[in-house]
Structure 1
Amino acid sequence: MNEDIISCQNCNIKFAYMIDSCPNCNSKKKLIHLELDDILPDIFDTISGKKVNPNLNSKKKMLEKFYDGYDKSANGDLAYKKQTISPEKDYYLEEVKNSQENIIHYCEEQLSNHKNRGHAKFKNNN
């Protein structure tokens, strides 16, 4: 390691090598700067979750569901997908982009109007 990448987190003094504590302020906190551009493949994060009210019955418990991240598309390409389903706010959003950032699907509307699409078209909508 060279001295450009190790420093004391407390006083910002640079180190030529890894040491136990800073000779300037005696802090054990270190900042190590690494650049991994050429050795790691692209990393794609995904986050999803639900907002629920545990006091409601099972059909009304979910107040909002979201997904934001990357997944394989139907043709095997990497796709970015952002989706929000909010029965609480009567809101639906779905945006899908291909690996070149071109929008391949976009839908934003009231959830109550979002019927007969995707997996909802297979449900019995009486």
Structure 2
Amino acid sequence: MRKLDSLLVFGLSAVVFAPFFLEDFPSMAALYGIMTGISVLYGLGCLRGPMEAPLWRQRKVPAEVQRVWSRRMGVLYLANAALCPLGWLLTVFVSFDTDFILLAQIAGFFLVSLLGLLPLRTAGKGTAA
């Protein structure tokens, strides 16, 4: 996941600085692509990759809890990736500002990432009792 974190930071930084070098750079399209792509990569990483995060291992979260939460987060990351194409499809039928699609993806990505803290909370309750 660290590679994906670096990829996300690099991609977003490239979008910020690209207009300085290319005057007609499509920043919004690049942001849509980056958020959709990184959500797909995180989703596949959670579904197919090693199911443990270093913090989960450090706090001794049980393996079955790690597996369940990794799968849940993977599915939610993929659902977050689907927001962009579904949002653009919705614009065919309903007129709205498409920037809300990007904002929803960013907020969704943040919220799904925060779900990784829930297994830590349940592990803390299990060890305290």
TM-score bracket for the superposition, by shorter chain length: under 0.3
Structure that is richer in helix per residue: 2
Higher strand share: 1
Give the structure-2-normalised TM-score.
0.26
Larger relative contact order, structure 1 or 2 (CA cutoff 8 Å, min sep 6) = 2
TM-score by length of 1: 0.27
